[in-house]
Chains A and B, each alone.
Chain A
Amino acid sequence: MPAGGRRQWSCSTAGWKIEYHFALSGKIESMSDNVQGYVNYFEILDLDETAKPGEVRKNYRKKMKDLVFEISQAQITEERRAHYLLEMAKLNAAFCLLRDTASREAYWNERRYLIELEEMWREAAARSGNAVESDALRREFDSKVRSFLAKYVEELMLDAGRDKECVEASNWDEAHERHASRILRYYRHRLYQQILERLPYYEVTPPRIDWEERQRTIGRILAGSAS
């Protein structure tokens, strides 16, 4: 490993050719104040980025056991069912992804690259507004973030549900998959919205919103139509 705890990782999964440097035990989050929306599977299993496959398996089994117990004690409503399905899908996906070193590295690199790309776009947008340079970065970021979320949220979570070990631990079956597809699509878009909300405006000019004026307008709309 290079001095200073830095190591070079090379990732060349489909559509991604990134040479990337980062501190192994460092926090990539420090590059950006906000990394919400980029699903962090290490966090889901309460692990750090150096966790060994054995630890991944151990934490997954413990968390899944706790979850299954919690489900067995709960009175199931539609909202709770959706919540538990999502939690189960997240654990399954985290386990499937992190137990394999190659897929874990690819995932983590893509995530890091996205965080950096977001930062680059923010800086370019701050420098030059909606100019060609920042627009090119925006397009690249938008396409990458969509593909990241599709791959690591929807597809991975559904695929993980078919894994033998996951099926054994979570009793995931076809009925779960049927219900989960809608829930996962919703979750993916929620994550995308979380990211979108902190990004520079590009489809519209940054709005100047006076919330007191908004309240008065809403009041007038309601009073006008309700009188």
Chain B
Amino acid sequence: MKSDRRRSPETKTVEPELAAKALAKAVCEGDIVNFRLVFSPFSPARRSSTERFEAEKYSYLLPDDDLEGSMVFKEALQLVQKTETWEHIQKELEEKRPAQMPSELLMVLGDHAVRAGKYTSAAQAYELLRIRPRIQEEYLRQADAALDEGNIRKAVRGYRIATGLAYNYAAFPEPLPNVPDYQTRALMLHGQYPERPEDCVALQEPQSFLSTALSYLLLDAEAAARLGARSVETRVMFLKELVAQIDVDWNEFTERFHDTLQLAKEFGKRLEQHTQGRWLTPRSLAEEIDQAFGEDPHKITAHLLGREIEGGEWWQYLKELAYKHPAGVLFISRQSVGEREILVPRYRADSPVPAALGLLTKSG
């Protein structure tokens, strides 16, 4: 018996129902990759291809029983099987050239992708339809309106979706949807060693801090600038909600931050000695013993992150912290200790932000 692979494409028949289901699944899950695959030259939906839906490796393209019974899938399937759309799909799958995908399905796919938080998928769908910038603007417009009404949660959601749909036209070699790259942005925030208090993000005055924080967390300076005219109170509430939506484990960080503040106080004297240039040259026997046997200040950084990186440099801790708790890197600064640097918790006492984000209370 011949294997599936060896069967001639001419003898292949494609079950139209399977192709329709695969498309409907991709649409209702907001999955642009699977959607495009169905139209690709090697697609199992094409008679000219040797690939088959029945093969185990393509089972992921088809819906399971739960999904098939859901209303959202049924609606998507109905849309796929709409006479005009389905005729177009079948025609395109027969042609020996890149298929022209049906825009009405892509539109619904984009909407489902947004609902599922798959912003890069949605961005690609809207980009293909050439409506991405206008859709972004509409989300921002409705988010601003929500902010006017005092609905912070809706406003934050709108801003997050709008910025999530952004495209990076400087990506190499081709433009790509923007992806959250807090690890890289955190390094840029702390790229210069802070020589003066104003060099340190955490110690900036509230207006300036809020601009930096919103720009960093929204991954978009232009969107953050739209919030610039709002009051400090509104922006603080916006930031609080934004942090909550981005980082569901934020309370874990606030607990650790609070503990680390205590730890940092204990090391404070030694850090102060260091900044006065006395760290490396102990003046008394007690200081010499303290330096030799005292606790390792690197523990502060490890405690802040929640784990120790063996031989880890400050930037390694910073990148991991930015990945786990993006907003956490806004409340730290680099501190030189001996020949190495550590990250220490920092905040501005007269700023309303640390308290709003629960950084000053043990319970978070």
Q: Report A's interface with B, CB cutoff 8 A.
A: 78-79, 130, 132, 135, 182-183, 185-186, 189-190, 193, 196-197, 201-209, 211, 214-215, 217-219, 221-226
Distance in Å from the Cβ of B313 to the closest Cβ of chain A? 24
In-complex Cβ contact of A221 among B100, B101, B115, B128 (8 A): B115
In-complex Cβ contact of A225 among B97, B98, B115, B135 (8 A): B115
A203→B98 contact, CB < 8 A: yes
Distance in Å from the Cβ of B236 to the closest Cβ of chain A? 19
Q: Is the interface of B mostly helix, strand, loop or mixed?
A: helix
A226→B157 contact, CB < 8 A: yes
Chain A residues in 8 Å Cβ range of B153 = 226
Chain A residues in 8 Å Cβ range of B104 = 205, 207-208
A217→B175 contact, CB < 8 A: no
> Per-position contact with A for B97-116: 1 when CB-CB < 8 Å, else 0?
11011111011000100110
A203→B128 contact, CB < 8 A: yes
Residue of A79, A132, A182, A217 with most partner-chain B CB within 10 A: A217
Interface residues of B in 60-119 (CB under 8 A from A): 88, 97-98, 100-104, 106-107, 111, 114-115
Distance in Å from the Cβ of B141 to the closest Cβ of chain A? 9
In the assembled complex, the Cα of A93 lies from the Cα of B129 at a distance in Å of 34
B131→A207 contact, CB < 8 A: yes
B146→A132 contact, CB < 8 A: no
B154 is an interface residue with CB less than 8 A from chain A: yes
**Residue in chain A with minimal CB distance to B115:** A221
In-complex Cβ contact of B101 among A78, A183, A204 (8 A): A204
In the assembled complex, the Cα of A61 lies from the Cα of B86 at a distance in Å of 61
> Per-position contact with A for B137-154: 1 when CB-CB < 8 Å, else 0?
011001100100001011
Cβ contacts A to B, 11 pairs, < 8 Å: A135-B98, A189-B170, A193-B169, A204-B100, A205-B100, A207-B107, A209-B129, A221-B114, A222-B143, A223-B154, A226-B146
In the assembled complex, the Cα of A163 lies from the Cα of B88 at a distance in Å of 54
> Per-position contact with A for B154-170: 1 when CB-CB < 8 Å, else 0?
10011001000000011
